[in-house]
Chain A
Amino acid sequence: MADALARFENLYARRRRKVLFQAALGWLVFLAALAGALWVSDVSPGRLLGGAQRLGDFTQQMLPRLEPDKLLAGARTQGSLAYWYYALPKWAGLLRQSIEIAILATVLGFIGAFALSFPAARRLGTPRGVTWAVRRLLEALRTVPELVSALIFVFAFGVGPLAGVLAIALHTMGSLGKLFSEVHENADPRPIEGIVAAGGGWLSRMRFGVLPQTMPNLVSYSLLRFEINVAASSAIGVVGAGGIGMELKAVIDLQLYQDALAMLLLIVALIFALDWSSERIRTFIAPEAAR
């Protein structure tokens, strides 16, 4: 009895030592990584505090001078909302362009992703080599950040929304293509076998065996991607690829910080309005994929 107890104590101590050692090692690696990260990114408590203080001043400059009694007065009265949003028509137009870029890029990306997702899916009877090549292509497309391809496209196609559309469309193609192919892989094989039994070829198997099962999820993922693309298209103007980002960069460069805050609020309102409505649509068309 005492022997068993001693054995237990012994094992427990050994296990505890092992856990403690592993934890210490983990912490050591983590702290080293953190120290390295802080060192290369030039962060020190002093600089961080100094930055925080300047950020406080900056926030002050961003806040509009609103006066409660004149809030609803016309655009010429200082302190009114209309005075703060004096350029609303122009900003709304740019915001519209951002949305247009996002819509067109999502549609183009969807078409490309749709076409490539069938050969990229395993277990659907596509030759291995083709699947491998298409998968690598999709990987390459989604690894290049939108902004980097936008930089190159602005160089090639000139300043304007065209570069933004192409950059976002390529990225969308890469990430949707991967998601779509995974959805196809998870499709029930029995309908596909049915098509095979009836003598259907590759195209018929995809069209009548796979697609009817996966279409709702494809649409749901695309809506989700559309939301992401709206955020991307509002930022992509920073490199000259159209949309509200271009104007945002301009007003920040001109130090018109109240305008900048006004535009930021517009962007956030748009993103959340889309978020909210697309969530409703997604739960309606594909309850299991909408998360």
Chain B
Amino acid sequence: MSLTRAEIGAARARYPGAFGAHPLMRAARFGAILLAATIVIALARHLDLLSLKFIAGFANIGAILQAMWPPAAETMGPIARSLAETVGMAFAGTFFAALIALPLGFLGARLVIRNRPAHFALRRLFDFFRGIPALIWALVFARAVGLGPMTGVLAFIAADFAALAKLYAEAIESADTRALDGVRSTGAAGLATLRFGLLPQVLPVMLSQALYFFESNVRSASILGIVGAGGIGGVLQEAIRFNQWHEVALILIILFVAVFALDQISRVLREALIGRAP
């Protein structure tokens, strides 16, 4: 006993949804995909992806990969020092950014500034700082205060303080006010209420956010050297410029290991602060 064509047709007419999308819908979907593909291909052509340059470049990549083996360097001194600089810049930059963000977070949460235009202008100014990547800040600061790792520290401060302040303000706003009421009911003064009612709630969150920023900054710090802000990026760029591909490979491996190790340390610290993530 098998179904006839007529029976299938009848079922299709009764339950159109069970047999897949309507032909018109399918045509529309197909058209949208076609349009998107056309745009992507046009972009690819426009940006040289479909050109001889691309194919020729692949041969170069092959040659570079071959030249990278085995990873080696003539001297380890500069690499070790710039690696320390990389981590140091990220740590100091994140620390100062968090230090500045703390009072700003309290101000932002309590909406101290009543003057609306001033409030608006301040928010936009913070958006400006937040919107520009650390590399661009480093590029600007390298001109303003000179080359060296301190430029990197300033770049991280500029790029992160506003973002951290925003997160801190959110943490404070979402804190449980009943704890504050409880401390206040014992007759505590204003500052003591904050210290014992609010701080125990928000501090672990704030610290763990600062740790997240530190992790991401270690990654960014490894490239700031390209614009002269200290760290391993400068050594790396130098090695690439002089075709020292053995050294490039070694630096990349060291960078991998360092980033991995710091991520693990930071994860352990975060878990100790706020408990294991679900």
Partner of A151, one of B43, B56, B57, B237: B237
Which of A74-82, A141-149, A176-184 lies at the interface with chain B?
A141-149
Select which of A38, A158, A260, A272 is within 8 A of B131 by beta carbon. Answer: A272
A-B contact count (CB 8 A): 166
Q: Which of A217-250 contact B (CB under 8 A)?
A: 231-232, 234-235, 238-239, 242, 245, 248-249
Does B127 contact A272, Cβ atoms closer than 8 Å?
yes
How many chain A residues have a CB neighbour from B under 8 Å?
61
Q: Are B132 and A268 in touch, CB under 8 angstroms?
A: yes
Contact A42–B40 (Cβ < 8 Å): no
A-contact 0/1 string along B37-49, CB 8 Å cutoff: 0001001101111
Q: Tell me the bound Cα distance from A257 to B248 in angstroms.
A: 34
With both chains docked as a complex, state the minimum distance between the C-beta of A268 and any C-beta of chain B, in angstroms: 4
Q: Does B87 contact A (CB under 8 A)?
A: yes
A151-B240, A161-B47 given as contacts; is B88 within 8 A of A41 (CB)?
Answer: yes
Residues of chain B at interface, number, CB under 8 A = 61
Q: Does B180 reach chain A (CB closer than 8 Å)?
A: no
Q: Is B193 an interface residue (CB 8 A)?
A: no
Contact with B60, one of A97, A101, A156, A248 (Cβ below 8 angstroms): A156
Chain B residues lying within 8 Å of A54, measured Cβ to Cβ, are 144-145
Partner of B136, one of A34, A162, A242, A245: A245
Q: A37-B88, A104-B43, A268-B131 are in contact. Are A148 and B236 (CB under 8 A)?
A: yes
Closest to A154 in B: B240
Say yes or no for B91: interface residue by CB 8 A criterion: yes
How long is the Cα–Cα vector from A242 to B95 in the complex, in angstroms?
33
Considering the complex, give the chain A residue whose CB is closest to the CB of B127. A272
A41, B230: Cβ atoms under 8 Å?
yes
Does A189 touch B at the CB level, under 8 Å? Answer: no
In Å, the complex CA distance between A125 and B200 comes to 45
Known A147-B223, A152-B240: A38·B132 in contact at CB below 8 Å: no
Cα–Cα distance between A40 and B132 once the two chains are bound (Å): 25
| Besides the known contacts A41-B92, A151-B237, A157-B54, 8 further A-B residue pairs in the complex with CB atoms under 8 A apart | A38-B88, A51-B154, A57-B144, A158-B53, A158-B57, A160-B48, A248-B139, A257-B143
Chain B residues in contact with chain A, CB under 8 A? Answer: 40, 43-44, 46-49, 51, 53-54, 56-58, 60-61, 64, 81, 84-85, 87-89, 91-92, 95, 127-128, 131-133, 135-136, 139-141, 143-145, 148-150, 152-154, 219-220, 222-223, 226-227, 230, 233, 236-237, 240, 248, 252, 255-256, 259-260
| 5 closest A-B pairs by CB | A157-B57, A40-B88, A268-B131, A156-B60, A58-B144
